[in-house]
Amino acid sequence: MKIAIVKRPLEEPHCGDLAGFWEHDGKVVLCMIDGLGHGKYAEQAAMAALGFFERHRYEPLLEVFAACDQALHNTRGVAMGVAVAEPAAGTLTYAGIGNTRAMVVGQETTRLLSHYGIVGGGYRTLKTETVPLAPGDLVIMYTDGIEEVIDLSGYGETLRTELRRLAETIIEDWRRATDDAAILVFRNGE
């Protein structure tokens, strides 16, 4: 499995933007979390969400989001996006609440939808979205500490194969100077 995660705090040592990934039964689960705001309390909320999700990561997405929303009521809350890649099926299923971003980059770029709300503060609607995932496709998930729309067209093929370098370059090129930032880049197995 090829994956890279890079994060940058606004204020050291606390970073409220976190990511995680797990592989199980031929599936790869990717999670991006942005604690509201930045600093210590954003980091605490993000860590609580990541810990909760890790314990429940193989349960149905809609159920995990609902339970996590309840579990985080005593925090400032988080934005959260979760993608489940199923390479054998050639699909990626995504669900998101708040302003984390996700996209699949292959022959075309597909941007995935997150719904309004705050995990820990409530949300009205959450639906999963399933899109094709071909061998070699990139899944890129990131927080709002990075510009909403990033353009990879100027990045050469070499950079696209070096995932850590690609993640670091995206943060350097597209980061907002007023917030924590995190990015996760996953290449679907070839």
Where are the chain's structural domains?
A: 2-187
- What is the pLDDT tens value at each position of the chain, 190 positions in all? 699 999 999 988 999 999 999 999 999 999 999 999 999 999 999 999 999 999 999 899 999 999 999 999 999 999 999 999 999 999 999 999 999 999 999 989 999 999 999 999 999 999 999 999 999 999 999 999 999 999 988 888 766 779 999 999 999 999 999 999 999 999 998 6
Residue 52: count of CB within 10 angstroms of its CB = 22
Inter-residue long-range contacts of 151-157, CB under 8 Å, 24+ positions, other chains counted: 152/105, 152/109
SS (H, E, C) 165-187: HHHHHHHHHHECCCCCEEEEEEE
The pTM for the full model equals 0.95
Domain at 2-187, CATH homologous superfamily: PPM-type phosphatase domain (3.60.40.10)
Residue type, 167: A
Alpha carbons 75 and 73: distance in angstroms, whole number: 6
